Structure 1
Amino acid sequence: MTRDQRLTMADAALDRAAALARDAEVSARHTDSQHRAEPLAAVAAVWVGIARTHAALADTTEA
């Protein structure tokens, strides 16, 4: 995988993390879906980790 591909993957992972974080926030604000907030936030954190990993690998990959 090239550096640009890794950075694209990191960007996509951050987009997914942001969407999940927004969903977690919305769920936390509504009493009927508060039970979903914590799992959504946890999955968002996993996607942040994936983004960090891709970014770190991009730094070690040639263009």
Structure 2
Amino acid sequence: MRNQSTKEQYVQHAWNATAKAEQLARDAERAARNEDFRHKVEPLAAAGRLWAEVAQSYTSIAAVLPEPLPELPTGGTEY
């Protein structure tokens, strides 16, 4: 199994942050539908927005990183 490139790692971080933002948005929506939990809507939405910004940051970083170079053959060469 090969190691992920730095670019792939940033893309994975972006996906993870996007998933977190989505979950917080769902939690905020659920809280908004229940009178007893409406006080949680604003903090949940704010946290979701921050995670969305984190995802955008990771995406921006990944976009400017170069693609990894192909691995070179490791066989010995005779001169």
Which structure carries more helix by proportion?
A: 1
The TM-score, its normalising length taken from structure 2, stands at 0.77
Trace 1:1-63 onto structure 2 (pairs within 5 A).
2-63=6-67
Report the Cα distance in structure 2 between the residues aligned to 1:8 and 1:62, rounded to whole angstroms: 16
Whose Rg is larger? Answer: 2
Q: Which amino acid aligns with 2:58?
A: H
Identity %: 37
Q: Which amino acid aligns with 2:21?
A: A
Partner-residue secondary structure (3-state), 1:58: helix
Q: CA RMSD in A?
A: 1.0
The TM-score, its normalising length taken from structure 1, stands at 0.95
Report the Cα distance in structure 2 between the residues aligned to 1:41 and 1:10, rounded to whole angstroms: 18
Aligned residue pairs, count: 63
Higher relative contact order (CA 8 A, sep 6+): 1
Unaligned segments of structure 1, at least 5 residues = none
Structure 1 residue ranges (4+ consecutive) displaced by more than 6 angstroms after TM superposition = none
Report the Cα distance in structure 1 between the residues aligned to 2:64 and 2:31, rounded to whole angstroms: 38
